[in-house]
Every structure is written in C-alpha cells, then in structure tokens.
Amino acid sequence: MAFFLLSSAVVLLALVWWWAGRFPCSWDVLRAARGAEGRETRQRLRTAWDELREGRRKSAQITEEARAQVEKAKADADNGLRPWDERFQNLSTEREARLKQAGECGDPVGAPLERSEQHLERLQLHQHALLPWKTVTSEEGEVREEDGEPLALYGLRVEIDSLSHHLVLRVTLPRDRNPVREWLYPNEKHWEAALHAFVVKVRDQQERDEVFREELRSRVAGIDDEMRQVETRRAKVAEENGRMIADADANLRSASDRAAAVLEKAYDAWEKEAHRRPRR
C-alpha cells in the first residue's frame, strides 16, 4: 500500500513538474486567478493557453510541411535519376555481352576435320574460330576430349602445302608470338580433297565472321554513343534535382524561421498573462 501511494505521488509530481514546465505560471497569477474575483484572470489565461497551443500546432505544421517538401524533392530526384541509371546499366550489360560474344567460338560449323589416330589433333570449324581438339586417354583409362587454344577466324590465313610424303595445312595468325601452326596429313587424294573442302569452308565462314564482327562493332559503337547521351542527360537531370533540393532546403530554413516567429508570439502571449515563459 505504501509503495502504491509512493508511486502515485511520484507520478503526480512528474505530471505537475511537466505541466509547470510546459505551462508555467507565477504564484501571483495563480493567487489572482482564485475565486470569483479571478474570473477575468482565468479567462485571459485560457485565451493565452489556446493561443499557445495553437502556436505550437501551427509552428509544428509549418516545419513538418517544409520537411515533407525536402523529402519529396529528394524522392523526386531519386525517381528522376532511376530511369537513366537503369538505362545506363542495361546498355553496359548489353555492351559486355556483345564484347564477350566477340571472344567466343560460336556454334560448330559442319563436321570436324578428323584424324584416324586419336592422339593427333583434329580441327573443328566454329562460327568465329578454328578449334583444335583431341581425344586423350589418362593413365587410369579415362577417355576425354581436350580442347586446344581457339584460333580466331578474324585475320587468319589458311592454306595447303605439300611435302614429299605429307600434306600440310598451314594456319597463319595475325599479331601472334607463334604466328604459324601446321597440321600434317597423308599425301593421299582423299585427304587432299578433304583439306581443300575444309579450306573453302573456313574461308566462307571467315566472310560470315567479318559481317558478324562489323555488325558487332557498329552495335558497340552505337551503345557507346547512347551511353554518352545517357550520361549527359543524367548530368542535366542531376543538376536540376540539385537546384530543386536546394530550393526545398532554403524553404525549410525560411519555414523554420516562420515557425519560430509563430511560436515566439504564442510564448509572448502566455508570458504576458502568466509571468513565466514555457519550455519549448
């Protein structure tokens, strides 16, 4: 029971302390407001109280509205930049995919130029590269296909030469440390026919590859141009957004001054009647 009474007293004192700080009033005014003769004083205090409450409400409203404008300006700025950022990212992703595609072999074209011996390299023509590969058997007897280094068709020169007992398929690579690669085949008519057919197929595919790469270069150049345009437009939007946010910040500072003036007027009205200034 004693604890309950003590707790109630503490709560009551806290409320009195809050009320006295929020709406302070001198003892002289409190005494003057007592009884029937204090009616006019009480009326003036109620009027000042209403004005103080309205001043606090209006001051908070002015500040909140100005802050909301700042937040809206920032949100509008983010929303205004988002389409340009997304477009730039999409273009960048497409550019990377195109450049990656330029370095890929592409799909196989026709059957490979086979060798009967498994340990010898065979050649497979792809859309954009010539790919050597062979079948390898490990010590454990595991058989696997092992690719060599792809030879890009762009700038590659392929030709046939004959030695006494062999036909040579010679591939010359541009701008390479080891520019010449050679494959030996039996000097037999069916191999000669197979090699000539393979060389024709490689050269035909090189023409297609050149068309592909020209289209690719054109598209990448177009992407680069569009990315520059997006960056330029984004910069202008960002500049406009900066001015919009700066205006909202300036309005917030002005609103804070107006809110302070409204609050000050309400505090003055209360202090005039209560002879004490309330806490903010």
Is 10 a domain residue? no
Instruction: Please give the full DSSP string across 225-263, using - where no structure is assigned.
Output: HHHHHHHHHHHHHHHHHHHHHHHHHHHHHHHHHHHHHHH
- Please check whether residue 126 lies inside any domain of the structure: yes
Q: Is 269 inside a domain boundary?
A: no
Domain that holds residue 138: 122-237
pLDDT band at 178 (very low <50, low <70, confident <90, very high): confident
CA distance 56 to 58: 6
Report residue 176's pLDDT band, with 50, 70 and 90 as the boundaries. Answer: low
Instruction: Answer whether 102's CB lies under 8 Å from 213's CB.
Output: yes
pLDDT of amino acid 1: 52
For residue 179, being part of any structural domain is answered with yes
Q: Full-prediction pTM beyond 0.85?
A: no
CB 234 within 8 A of CB 88: yes
Max CA-CA distance within the chain?
A: 137
Q: Provide the pLDDT for residue 46.
A: 87
Q: Tokens 């709406």 — which residue?
A: 23
Residue 275's pLDDT is 80
- Residue 131 scores a pLDDT above 50: yes
The three-state secondary structure class of 152 is strand
Per the structure, the count of domains in the chain is 1
Contact 167, 190 (CB under 8 A): no
Q: Quick check: is 174 in a domain?
A: yes
Q: Of residues 7 and 210, which shows the higher confidence score?
A: 210
Q: What is the pLDDT of residue 167?
A: 92
**Dist CA 98 CA 105 (whole Å):** 13
Q: What mean pLDDT is predicted for residues 59-86?
A: 94
**Residue 215 in domain:** yes
**Share of the chain residues as helix, strand and coil, in percent rounded to the nearest 5:** 65, 15, 20
Rounded distance between C-alpha atoms, residue 257 and residue 260, angstroms: 5
Residue 121 has pLDDT above 90, yes or no: no
Taking only the tens place, the pLDDT of each residue in 198-234 is: 999 999 999 999 999 999 999 999 999 999 999 999 9
Give the best-scoring range by mean pLDDT among 7-16, 27-36, 47-56, 206-215. Answer: 206-215
Beta-carbon neighbour count of residue 253 at 10 Å? 10
pLDDT band with cut points at 50, 70 and 90 for residue 10:
very low
In degrees, rounded to 5, the angle at the alpha carbon of residue 114 between the alpha carbons of residues 112 and 118 is 125
> Cα–Cα distance between 57 and 64 in angstroms, integer?
10
Pair 25, 274: CB distance under 8 Å: yes
Give me the pLDDT at residue 29, please.
72
- The CATH number linked to 130 is 2.30.29
pLDDT tens digits, one per residue of 14-33: 334 444 445 587 777 777 66
Task: Look at residue 114 and tell me if it is in a domain.
Answer: no
Residue 130 has pLDDT above 90, yes or no: yes
Residue 173 resides in a domain: yes
Mean residue pLDDT of the chain comes to 85
